[in-house]
Chains A and B, each alone.
Chain A
């Protein structure tokens, strides 16, 4: 009786751990690959910029932006942070946003536009979460400058 219960508990714990620990595929595909490499990332970010310029909360920050240049920089940056073969050559995040006085609410509005774009492009939720996880630490360098 005791042994059965112990085995059940061990199996239960193992199952819980198996569910909680992320699966690691043998050939570790980067998030860059999973997002469809540069074409996939470009589609998501071009759509995101489309949502941003229509987003009354933050559109004014982009009123005078060179949209194709901005899209190029965003693609390079996301390609780089997701493990793709790109280098980001633009200014540092803090320098690029100096004097813009972007608030945390503005930052979150952009994250929501990114989520909207990822949903539109049918990016699976786990990939969405990982990408947002990589971009979340930008809050500090980008806001209140």
Chain B
């Protein structure tokens, strides 16, 4: 948490700088809002689901990109994510994001006490994932293929490295304590996105469906897979499982969209139940370079604490705020 507080003024300053430098100096070749926003893992998409759209405001003969910052405020957790993406010719997207889960002492102190560890050893705990992503558009065009049902189709991968799987000083990290097997993993996905111009009673409608192969626990924030003996019955031993994700959005006007997302999760670990992630969002595009997202996110259960029966559940519902700068 401390680390994040030190970082945030720099992140804000950098964002403001990029915002100012983008004002009117460049004009994206793409139409307003057709670059979407950035999802938590750094890929172009909605708030929590990667879409088939390629990041940036570039067209096929340009290079573009995005920078984003997302904060989710949950009762005893915060999720922060920041990253950048490059879009090459509206065909290939390369992205990097760092996601951080900050855990309140209200969660960690009872665990420390129960395990007999020195008091305060887990104060201000954070768990981070570095996510390197690549996405390739393979067919269709979400916006221009009107009059047919053909969506834009992209395939992508997200390689995630949990940098707090094992903590320093030989103390086992939280993901490992919860029974996760690996500190890194790679998600593979296929995304289909279609915009129906005038498709919702005259308003523009966006539909997205994504199929993901993943081993990640809570997006990788709680590691990957499950160690022998730590797997939930029916989880298939914590290997790759197929998850489904969907987004729907309606543009109330050219600058404003409302929508909802749903994303299923593997639920590998017996120690802590993992549920589908959901959100309801409002996205505002004041111009081609900026996008702001306000959402209510319901991320299911996170570990709540420790009791005689094991780890308790914590409802992870809260406010989701995100900002994105796009170029050219």
Closest to B29 in A: A105
Interface residues of A in 54-106 (CB under 8 A from B): 57, 103-105
B145 touches A137 (CB 8 A): yes
A129 at the interface (CB under 8 A from B): yes
Interface residues of B in 199-227 (CB under 8 A from A): 199-205
Interface of A is mostly: helix
A22 touches B143 (CB 8 A): no
Q: Which B residues touch A14, using CB under 8 A?
A: none
Closest to B248 in A: A20
What separation, in Å, do the CA atoms of A124 and B62 have in the docked complex? 32
Interface residues of A, CB < 8 Å — how many?
A: 26
Interface residues of B in 77-96 (CB under 8 A from A): none
Taking a contact as CB atoms closer than 8 A, the residue among A22, A103, A126 that contacts B61 in the complex is A103
B200 touches A133 (CB 8 A): no
- One digit per residue, 1 when the CB lies within 8 angstroms of any chain A CB and 0 when it does not, for chain B 120-160 equals 00000000000000000000010111110000000000000
B27 touches A57 (CB 8 A): yes
- Beyond A103-B59, A140-B144, whether A133 also contacts B29 by CB under 8 A is no
B202 touches A134 (CB 8 A): no
B192 to chain A, nearest CB (A): 18
B198 touches A133 (CB 8 A): yes
- Of the A-B pairs whose beta carbons lie under 8 Å apart in the complex, a sample of 25, sorted by A's number, is A19-B201, A22-B198, A22-B200, A22-B202, A57-B27, A103-B59, A103-B61, A104-B59, A104-B60, A105-B30, A105-B62, A108-B29, A115-B254, A125-B202, A126-B202, A129-B198, A129-B202, A129-B203, A130-B198, A133-B196, A133-B199, A136-B144, A136-B197, A137-B147, A139-B141
